Amino acid sequence: MGVPIRADLAAIPDYNIPATAPDAVLLNSNEGPLPPPPSVVAAIARAAVEGHRYPQWFSDTLVSRLAADLAVPEPWIGVGCGSVSLCRDLIQAACGPGDEVLCAWRSFDAYPAFARAAGVRVRTVPLDAEHRHDLEAMLDAVTPATRVVFVCNPNNPTGTVVRSRELHDFLERLPDRVLVVLDEAYREFVTDPDVPDGIALSRARRNVAVLRTFSKAYGLAGVRIGYCVAPPAVVSALHKVAVPFAVSRLAQAAALAALDHPAEVRARCAAVVRERDRLHTRLLEAGYPVPPSQANFLWLPVGERATEFADFCARHGVLVRAFPGDGIRVTVGLPEENDAFLCAAAQAFPPNGRRPAASVDIMVAPGRS
């Protein structure tokens, strides 16, 4: 007989590990398309020289820097090993046996997975017909056991947003014993002025935590660092449940250096946004009913054909993320990478029947290793 493992873990699906291939165009993980700027790489290398020393326990230097940049007091900021670890820590900090987590579906798949792993019940509320959070239905789904509600804004994987008025109403009507986690991993790609700034909302209330990350706009997905802005009591609780020293010295140095280049980050995000809007237009023209996205990815609701579609793209050198039975999420890459995807998508299943001439070549972006 093996060691006893919690029986309920069997019900948690294995994490869908993104595929990778040596020469493929990687549009399946919502990463930034460019490597970090050389000065950030240099800061990581400098930090490595002191690799024999543990990092700062609470990332104090980075917290001070973020506090100054965001105009938020230091006790309101907690740093984690990627914002995904903060999702888990928030559940652990707020929920105990018998409690519930509420989230939209589809949304970021880590929310239900972490809740279940913590032995916490999950309620999911379907997105509306426009692939947006249905905040009314989410309010109706709140029970006396609800402790945490995730609102992913923009939503992964659909790219849709909730706007100021509806979020304000939602927060007004929600019992303030419920912690609202506004996950703003893609905030830097938002161009709609009516999408609220979660940090301002958090500062004005006692029950809102905001998650941000260096993985997307700052191009540091492989370095693993993100942060939470929340009332000090929530941040203190995060500190209690966090894995000690989970945020490496290298990650802290990288984030600090990345914050020195706001103009570069803005320019990179603007380039992604331009490509996002071009891809969106082209996909609509091809007949795919793609909802408007405010993130660095687009959602193709191809339903039952999702897996087949992703396999087709993979055979043509482009990796996208399939959500079986539901749709495809494609990350916005460099222009030539997006062209490679558009070529594959045009030949895959043109929903409007306007299949392009058979001579269309599939282009695989050069130089991707």
Residue 347 found at the interface with ligand PMP (CB under 6 A): no
Local structure of residue 14 (DSSP, 8 states): P
- What span, in angstroms and rounded, lies between the C-alpha atoms of 199 and 110? 22
Minimum separation from the CB atom of position 17 to ligand PMP (A): 12
Minimum separation from the CB atom of position 81 to ligand PMP (A): 8
267-326 residues near ligand PMP, rule: CB under 6 A: none
In terms of Cβ atoms closer than 10 Å to its own Cβ (0-12, 13-18, 19+), residue 143 is exposed
Minimum separation from the CB atom of position 212 to ligand PMP (A): 8
216-255 residues near ligand PMP, rule: CB under 6 A: 221, 226
Give the residue at shortest CB distance from ligand PMP.
Answer: 82
Residue 213 found at the interface with ligand PMP (CB under 6 A): yes
169-188 residues near ligand PMP, rule: CB under 6 A: 183, 185
| Residue showing tokens 């997905």 | 221
Residue 159 found at the interface with ligand PMP (CB under 6 A): no
Q: Which of 26, 88, 90, 108 binds ligand PMP (CB under 6 A)?
A: 108
Minimum separation from the CB atom of position 346 to ligand PMP (A): 27
**Pick 108 or 309: Cβ nearer ligand PMP:** 108
Both tokens of residue 106?
């589809």
Minimum separation from the CB atom of position 356 to ligand PMP (A): 32
Residue 348: partners with Cβ closer than 8 Å, 6 or more residues away: 309, 312, 313
Minimum separation from the CB atom of position 82 to ligand PMP (A): 3
249-258 and 60-70 are packed helices; what angle lies between their axes, rounded to 10 degrees?
A: 20
Minimum separation from the CB atom of position 353 to ligand PMP (A): 33
Both tokens of residue 308?
């087949």
**Cβ 137 vs Cβ 127: under 8 Å:** no
CB atoms within 10 A of CB 130: 10
Query: What SS3 class is residue 226?
Result: strand
CB atoms within 10 A of CB 23: 11
Length of the chain: 369
**Pick 223 or 363: Cβ nearer ligand PMP:** 223
Intra-chain end-to-end CA distance of the chain, in Å: 44
In degrees to the nearest 10, what's the CA dihedral of 25, 26, 32, 33? -10
Task: Specify the DSSP element, H or E, that contains 267.
Answer: helix 262-285
- What span, in angstroms and rounded, lies between the C-alpha atoms of 119 and 186? 28
Minimum separation from the CB atom of position 135 to ligand PMP (A): 17
- What span, in angstroms and rounded, lies between the C-alpha atoms of 43 and 178? 40
Q: Which of 83, 294, 331, 347 binds ligand PMP (CB under 6 A)?
A: 83
Q: Which of 28, 59, 156, 160 binds ligand PMP (CB under 6 A)?
A: 156
Q: Which of 40, 149, 152, 365 binds ligand PMP (CB under 6 A)?
A: 152
Q: Which of 92, 160, 207, 215 binds ligand PMP (CB under 6 A)?
A: 215
Q: Show the binding pattern over residues 22-61: x = contacts ligand PMP (CB under 6 A), - = does not.
A: --------x-------------------------------
Q: Show the binding pattern over residues 84-103: x = contacts ligand PMP (CB under 6 A), - = does not.
A: x-------------------
**Cβ 57 vs Cβ 245: under 8 Å:** yes
The site for ligand PMP (CB under 6 A) is made up of 30, 82-84, 108, 152, 156, 183, 185, 213, 215, 221, 226
